[in-house]
Amino acid sequence: MIEINEIHKGFSDKTVIEGVSSLFETGKCNLIIGASGSGKTVLMKCLVGLIRPDSGRILYDGVDFTAMTEDIKKEMRRKIGMLFQGSALFDSMTVEQNVMFPLEMFSNKTKAEKLRRVDEVLDRVNLNGAHKKHPAEISGGMKKRVGIARAIVLNPQYLFCDEPNSGLDPQTSLVIDKLIREITSEFNITTVINTHDMNSVMEIGDRILYMFQGKKEWEGTNKEIIFSKNERLNNFIFASEFLQDAKDMRMLELRGKINEDRNMDDLLK
């Protein structure tokens, strides 16, 4: 679990994050959403320690990350996995070498043990047989899966994903969403995802933080977001007439399901 309390961050005379507090739960996909310039990317950089907030606290399972010395922060970062927007693979390295990179940096395992671990995570993301390929030889979706494999190779407690579906077609995006959700649940990871993908919001948004102009505007689940009366959130999520119609249909479906459940409860009484 990661808890943030009253996080503030500014650059020069511009405030980027203003008093944001939230809770990112373990074993769940916690999404940060918002328009460009809303502060969500800066917030994520604060969470992983790339940027230091001007004030406020970031607690990793009750331990204040912002108050740690640099040496202790380095130890903490070994518990963090990161999936970058562009996958950030090394072009000159094979898939196997890319995934092994964190093990080479932070592990004392033998070469054979490292290779076995690489095999395990590549198998988990359904990339058997891709070990010796280079990034230029695989698809965008495969690159994302290599990025996920690299992010989990050290068995992290915390996983951060920056726009994991960026540049992917809708079908491949669904595959990546499903994989991230499965890994989060399977290994009980605290997963934080920065995204613009509204399908991800609806499919895997266990917890959603919506930011507007550096502030927390709304917080809830993907079920609650359908019924939100927050005008800014609705304008952001359901920007087109098509999406608004889809929202109305989804609300009718959910209300029908709620009524069915109530009727069943009445029958069982």
First and final C-alpha spacing in the chain: 39
Claim to verify: residue 192 and residue 216 sit in the same structural domain: yes
- Return the pLDDT at 59: 96
DSSP letter at 103 equals H
Claim to verify: residue 233 and residue 266 sit in the same structural domain: no
Structural contact between residues 184 and 26, judged by C-beta atoms closer than 8 angstroms: no
Claim to verify: residue 165 and residue 232 sit in the same structural domain: yes
Find the helix or strand (DSSP H, E) in which 145 lies: helix 140-152
- Return the pLDDT at 210: 97
Instruction: Read off the pTM.
Output: 0.86
Claim to verify: residue 181 and residue 217 sit in the same structural domain: yes
Claim to verify: residue 137 and residue 250 sit in the same structural domain: no
- Return the pLDDT at 256: 62
Q: Which amino acid is at 64?
A: D
Claim to verify: residue 192 and residue 259 sit in the same structural domain: no
List, for the chain, all residue ranges whose pLDDT scores fall below the cut of 50. 240-242, 269
- Return the pLDDT at 240: 46
Q: What is the DSSP string of 242-265?
A: HHHHHHHHHHHHHHHHHHHHHHHH
Q: What CATH number is associated with residue 51?
A: 3.40.50.300
Structural contact between residues 66 and 4, judged by C-beta atoms closer than 8 angstroms: no
Range of the domain at 250: 243-269
